[in-house]
A and B are shown apart, each in its own frame.
Chain A
């Protein structure tokens, strides 16, 4: 079945540091890939998505590239801010899985001033 594996947290960085959160997936079909973010006390919200191989999703300075050859969708940001402190979830959805969205376990990010 489909699955998503992302790096364990917490990740603690200083402001303006470079961020990478690793995400790899297993899917029977050709999935769409997502990153959702959950800020403290709020619901999950979509950060970015990519629907086919080599697509790059980007939003708010975050980027992730759909790599079919390595089945990965790593999240990156060049310079993090304190306001980026949140939990980040990698997810996939594909037709072969009935469009059921599978989420990773989440990676908590702390950014220190």
Chain B
């Protein structure tokens, strides 16, 4: 069974530029998560989807971040414009459904904003 796929693995951009991250969850997983992980910290939830519906986006900085999950499968997270403080690892995870269940994580995208 294929795991959670993310691309790109690394991205370096200048501040004020846009950037997008893509995630393909495990087949059949209804719940998809985007996390941000700063250096030396644990993952922090940005947004959680249940199928194509965003059920928790309270931590998503909506002035510059946007996300979508078309058809309840793949998802894209976008930042426009990027700021220096956005440098972090962006993790995608999926689970069968929402609740206290195991989450399966992708390898992450390391973003560097210069």
Are B99 and A99 in contact (CB-based, < 8 A)?
yes
Shortest C-beta distance, B22 to chain A (Å), equals 15
Are B56 and A101 in contact (CB-based, < 8 A)?
no
User: Within the assembled complex, what's the spacing in Å between the Cα atoms of A89 and B93?
Assistant: 15
A28: CB under 8 A from chain B?
no
User: Within the assembled complex, what's the spacing in Å between the Cα atoms of A45 and B108?
Assistant: 13
Q: Mark B68-105, 1 if CB is under 8 A from A, else 0.
A: 00000000000000000000000101000011101111
Are B100 and A51 in contact (CB-based, < 8 A)?
yes
Q: Which of B93, B103, B107 contacts A41 (CB 8 A)?
A: B107
Q: Which A44-71 residues have a C-beta within 8 angstroms of B? A: 44-46, 49, 51
A44-B43, A100-B45, A105-B41 given; A94·B100 CB < 8 A:
yes
A43-B4, A43-B108, A44-B91 given; A101·B103 CB < 8 A:
yes
A32-B100, A51-B100, A106-B40 given; A100·B56 CB < 8 A:
yes
Are B100 and A104 in contact (CB-based, < 8 A)?
no
Chain A residues with CB under 8 A of B105: 36, 43-45
Q: Which of A49, A98, A104 contacts B102 (CB 8 A)?
A: A49
User: Within the assembled complex, what's the spacing in Å between the Cα atoms of A104 and B40?
Assistant: 10
B4, B43, B93 — most chain A CB neighbours (10 Å): B43
A89 closest partner in B (C-beta): B42
Are B107 and A101 in contact (CB-based, < 8 A)?
no
Are A106 and B41 in contact (CB-based, < 8 A)?
yes
B106 closest partner in A (C-beta): A43
Are B91 and A101 in contact (CB-based, < 8 A)?
no
Give residues in B with beta carbon < 8 Å to A.
3-4, 33, 40-45, 48, 56, 91, 93, 98-100, 102-108
The 7 closest A-B pairs by CB, nearest first: A103-B42, A32-B100, A43-B105, A44-B105, A93-B100, A46-B102, A43-B107
